[in-house]
Structure 1
Amino acid sequence: MQVTLQPSGAVLTIKPGERILEAAQRLGYDCPQSCRNGNCHVCAALLVDGRVRQEGQVRDHGELFTCIAEPLEDCTLLWDGVLALGELPVRKLACQVSECVALGGDVWRVRLRAPAGKPPRYHAGQYLMIERENGEKSAFSLASAPHRGRDLELHVLARENSARALIDQLQRQGIARVELPFGDTHLAELPEGPLVLIAAGTGMAQMHSLIEHCRAQGFKYPVHLYWGVRRPEDFYSLEHWDEWQQLPNLYLHKVVSDLCGWEGRCGLLHEAVCEDITELSSVQVYASGSPAMIYATLDALVSAGMDAHQMRADVFAYAPRNG
């Protein structure tokens, strides 16, 4: 039998005689619950369709308690707060602005500190939404890694008026109202193989989080970072860059696309990747940049032998390609 959960859309396959909460936990879901006897009501859900047996009675509608309800046929439940394996609850926090400093290339490092007793929960590579004075929200990748606890880091490119206004707001108010975490391009689990990280501009923030997480977790496989900008002066200062250069399994590549003649590498990011890594079948690729850049990179790497499922990018969720 199957139980479909709304609003998440998750589908649970129930074994004969198994109760709903028991099945959900067996399948790796994090469910609201406190006890297992139906007295606390924490695990309550609304039966939308189907029939269940609860305390000897058959029910076909209304509230049920998932810890004691046994499906008799396929059912649909309205059950809020159920999280899939690796999924974290979205929370709103008012954070102190602990630092707002220019890094070069018109990029600012913004450091936030979450309230005591409310450490933010997120996976390396996820992003947050920050509230502006007009009530609108803007997305920024988290450059910090989860082991940093209450301390969050963002890299903000402040060339446009709206971004400069946000920096001014944070400096004036000293408080940032944020909501997190978002995004499925993360490292909830480390892969058993090499990583290729591709970042355009401040897409480096997401890769910064991934690298710092790998470093904290003792990741032993090779990690290849490709960081691209239009002009050499667009590269900005990264606090841990010198330390990264000493890591035996981390390979750092800076690539400039529009202005050749500098002492480093020129061209497009996917060209550099294909030049260096001739066997792409065993790598996992994480990429951050504009939709045009991401899809051009995907097409180039697939043509070079990568399976499309090996590449992850937030663009695939917020700007899906038609066809």
Structure 2
Amino acid sequence: MRVTLQPSGAVLETQPGERILEAAQRLGHECPQSCRNGNCHVCSALLVEGRVRQEGVEHDHGEIYTCIAEPLEDCVLLWDGVLALGELPVRTFACQLSECTPVGGDVWRVRLRAPAGRPPRYHAGQYLMIERENGEKSAFSLASAPHAGRDLEMHVLVREASAQNLIEQLQRNGMARVELPFGDTHLAELPDGPLVLIAAGTGMAQMHSLIEHCRAQGFKHPVHLYWGVRRPEDFYQIEHWEQWQTLPNLFLHKVVSDLCGWEGRCGMLHEAVCEDIADLAGVHVYASGSPAMIYATLDALVAAGMDAHQMRADVFAYAPRP
């Protein structure tokens, strides 16, 4: 039977005798339910169309309990709280500060530890929102990967008063209230092909998460990292950099845009990518930086033969181009 869920739009193909909640969970959906904790009615939904059998009684409208309701024909349900495949629920954590250390380039590495017994769930490449004392929230990419469990890492560029105030707040309070996860530029599923990771400045945090996740998952395809800054001294310490250099399928490139004459590469990030990768048709590109940098990179790579759909960046969601 086909069960259509509103407002998510998800469609469940149920098996004979299968209950609706069972089908949703089998297909990978996050659903509101708390049967094991003794909280009944959490999984309730409104039957809009179709018929179901529930404890031997047929229903063709009204409230049903998806944990015991078996569809008898195609149905439409109004079931709030069901998440799309790969989507995770946003949760709030009061975390302890475990590290707040300058790592060069005016960047601080901040590590938070979530409470025991309820580890945060996120996909590699997503970001969190951290609450300031005035109630405002600021977004930071997660540099940690999901296998880190309770430990969350961020890279904070401290050149403006707002960032300095946040560091002082963390040091003063020894804790922070965060919400996560956010963002659709992630690796919920590893691609079947090479990865090209393009990071400007502290956009490296997002790429750090992606690389660590690939390493933990045993990703076999090539991974090309292009990390760009304005000046050589803007590069900051990456804890796993030396380990990364030993990986046979990980290729690391540092690029400086404003100052030539140093020992490494100079120019724009997209120029370095195009110099190294002649055929962009089969790569999966993840990019992090300012809107201007992201769209300039997109245009340059499309001109070099990449399909625009091959590139993912959070900028496309929060600063869409007309």
Give the structure-1-normalised TM-score.
0.90
Partners in 1 of 2:297 and 2:72 — Cα distance? Answer: 47
Deviation at 1:24, TM superposition (A): 2.4
Partners in 2 of 1:13 and 1:118 — Cα distance? Answer: 31
> Which has the higher mean CA deviation after the structures are superposed, 110-119 or 60-69?
60-69
Query: Which letter maps to 2:78?
Result: L
CA contact (8 A) 1:124 1:213 kept: yes
> Which has the higher mean CA deviation after the structures are superposed, 261-270 or 62-71?
62-71
Query: Which letter maps to 1:296?
Result: A
CA contact (8 A) 2:46 2:61 kept: no
Partners in 1 of 2:303 and 2:31 — Cα distance? Answer: 42
Deviation at 1:67, TM superposition (A): 3.4
Aligned residue in 1 for 2:93? 93
Aligned residue in 2 for 1:50? 49
* Correspondence list, 1:254-265, <5 A: 254-265=254-265
Aligned residue in 1 for 2:247? 247
Partners in 2 of 1:68 and 1:62 — Cα distance? Answer: 10
Does residue 297 of the first structure (1) align with residue 300 of the second (2)? Answer: no
Does residue 136 of the first structure (1) align with residue 136 of the second (2)? Answer: yes
> Which has the higher mean CA deviation after the structures are superposed, 168-177 or 303-312?
303-312
The alpha-carbon distance between structure 1 residues 214 and 15, as it changes in their structure 2 partners (threshold 3 A), is: closer
Query: Number of aligned pairs?
Result: 318
* Correspondence list, 1:141-160, <5 A: 141-160=141-160
Does residue 112 of the first structure (1) align with residue 112 of the second (2)? Answer: yes
Deviation at 1:293, TM superposition (A): 1.1
The alpha-carbon distance between structure 1 residues 310 and 67, as it changes in their structure 2 partners (threshold 3 A), is: farther
Query: Which letter maps to 1:97?
Result: L
Partners in 2 of 1:179 and 1:278 — Cα distance? Answer: 41
CA contact (8 A) 2:45 2:77 kept: no
Query: Which letter maps to 1:120?
Result: P
The alpha-carbon distance between structure 1 residues 141 and 71, as it changes in their structure 2 partners (threshold 3 A), is: farther
The alpha-carbon distance between structure 1 residues 207 and 76, as it changes in their structure 2 partners (threshold 3 A), is: same
Aligned residue in 2 for 1:165? 165
Partners in 1 of 2:308 and 2:267 — Cα distance? Answer: 23
Query: Which letter maps to 1:53?
Result: V
Query: Which letter maps to 1:235?
Result: F
Deviation at 1:8, TM superposition (A): 3.1
SS of the counterpart of 1:243?
A: helix
Partners in 1 of 2:84 and 2:34 — Cα distance? Answer: 18
Deviations 1:34-90 (A, max 9, x none): 669xx943421133x32433333333234543531426455241332x233322221
Aligned residue in 1 for 2:66? 65
Partners in 2 of 1:136 and 1:318 — Cα distance? Answer: 17
Query: Which letter maps to 2:272?
Result: A
SS of the counterpart of 2:103?
A: strand
CA contact (8 A) 1:201 1:234 kept: yes
Deviation at 1:210, TM superposition (A): 0.9
Deviations 1:150-191 (A, max 9, x none): 111100011111111101100100001001111111112222
Deviation at 1:258, TM superposition (A): 1.6
Does residue 280 of the first structure (1) align with residue 291 of the second (2)? Answer: no
SS of the counterpart of 1:104?
A: coil
The alignment yields a C-alpha RMSD, in angstroms, of 2.3
CA contact (8 A) 1:105 1:234 kept: yes
SS of the counterpart of 2:69?
A: coil
CA contact (8 A) 2:2 2:73 kept: no
CA contact (8 A) 2:6 2:76 kept: no
CA contact (8 A) 1:19 1:71 kept: no
Deviations 1:259-300 (A, max 9, x none): 222221111111110010001111111111111111111111
CA contact (8 A) 2:143 2:205 kept: yes
Partners in 1 of 2:238 and 2:129 — Cα distance? Answer: 22
SS of the counterpart of 1:117?
A: coil
Deviation at 1:32, TM superposition (A): 3.4
Query: Which letter maps to 2:90?
Result: V
Aligned residue in 2 for 1:224? 224
Deviation at 1:238, TM superposition (A): 1.1
Give the structure-2-normalised TM-score.
0.90
> Tell me, which stretches of 5 or more residues in structure 1 are unaligned?
none
